[in-house]
Structure 1
Amino acid sequence: MTKTSASSRRRAAVPAEEEIRFWMRAPAVTVNLAAPVSEALALMREHNVRRLPVVIDTGELRGIITQGDIRGADLLRVAGMDPFEIADALRRIKVYEVMTEDPITVTPETSLREAAMLMIDNKIGGLPVVDEHNMVVGIITESDLFEALVHVLERRDMEEEG
């Protein structure tokens, strides 16, 4: 898979409400790349999210970790492995060992359409939103894009009725 970034493409002007900044979740819940996987899992559960941008101490993006990256723990439980052994393993394995490095990113100015196309083309469910210094400023997910779609359709329906 080649790394593609919305910031590396030429953008057409779009209405502000069709930019990522209007729909992204900010601030994004992030995890440090040296944190144990157990911490990432706890953050995902606490904030009801399926992916976390992975950052270094300065807040600069280094990767992304998803529930799928750590789903192996559920398989170990089904296979009969002791839950205490699983918990211990999740404390010993570091985020950087299982994360996806250099994830595809977008900027706050990226259009919703471009973000959706990046997700479709790369079969991913979310994109970290970064500034010009690669600092994480938010995250945009499939759910956010569906919310935007509903908003656009409702607005269109109101205009047609009105």
Structure 2
Amino acid sequence: MEKTSVGRWMTRNPVTIETDASIVEAVHLLKEKNIRRLPVMKGGKVAGVVTEKMLLSYMPSKATSLDHWEVQYLLGKTPVSEAMNPSPHTVKAETDITEAARLLHDRKLNGVLVVDEAGGLVGIFTTTNALEALVAFAQECQAGR
């Protein structure tokens, strides 16, 4: 894997969730794994992506007349597919990190899904991954002085 490719810096084997899982399950999974985005899968293929922000915006406002248990019941019955982005940005593992970082910056994204030629999920490339690469390259430059 080339040093400047997304595949070198991405997070491999990301935590995923199925389209028919509930919003409550997705929220619990994000909290349990301490992550902010979940690729949503259907039949082993990427169906979309859901983020912490999307799920929070899906929650009813505090002004709702529903009580806590009614809200939990409704969100427990609502599939994550209702809150997900069905057209997430994707890159390939061979994509140069400068191109992926430009996509993150220009689209104001916090991460993109990394897929193979068949559209299968192989990883996630996040702003944190891009910063890790930047730190490593800066350290190499300093060491080379």
Determine if the TM-score, normalized by the shorter chain, exceeds 0.5.
yes
What amino acid does structure 2 have at the position aligned with 1:135?
G
SS of 2:40's equivalent in the other structure is strand
Question: Structure 1 residue 131: deviation in Å?
Answer: 0.6
More helix as a share of residues: 1
Identity among equivalent pairs (%)? 34
What amino acid does structure 2 have at the position aligned with 1:39?
E
Counterpart for residue 110 of structure 1? 95
Measured against aligned partners, the alpha-carbon deviations of 1:93-133 in whole angstroms (never above 9, x if no partner) come to 11111111121101111111111111112111110111111
In the alignment, structure 1 residue 31 sits paired with structure 2 residue 56: no
- How large is the Cα RMSD of the aligned pairs? 1.7
More strand as a share of residues: 2
Q: Of 7, 17, 23, which residue of structure 1 is paired with 2:3?
A: 17
In the alignment, structure 1 residue 152 sits paired with structure 2 residue 131: no
Counterpart for residue 112 of structure 2? 127
Distance, in Å, in 1 between the alignment partners of 2:26 and 2:87 is 18
Distance, in Å, in 2 between the alignment partners of 1:68 and 1:91 is 18
Distance, in Å, in 1 between the alignment partners of 2:99 and 2:67 is 45
Matches for 1:43-62 after TM superposition, within 5 Å: 43-57=29-43, 59-62=44-47
Question: Structure 1 residue 153: deviation in Å?
Answer: 0.7
Kept in 2: contact 1:73–1:86 (CA 8 A) = no
What amino acid does structure 1 have at the position aligned with 2:83?
V
Question: Structure 1 residue 85: deviation in Å?
Answer: 2.4
Question: Structure 1 residue 43: deviation in Å?
Answer: 1.4
Relative to the length of structure 2, the TM-score reads 0.91
Q: Which runs of 5 or more structure 2 residues have no equivalent in the other structure?
A: none
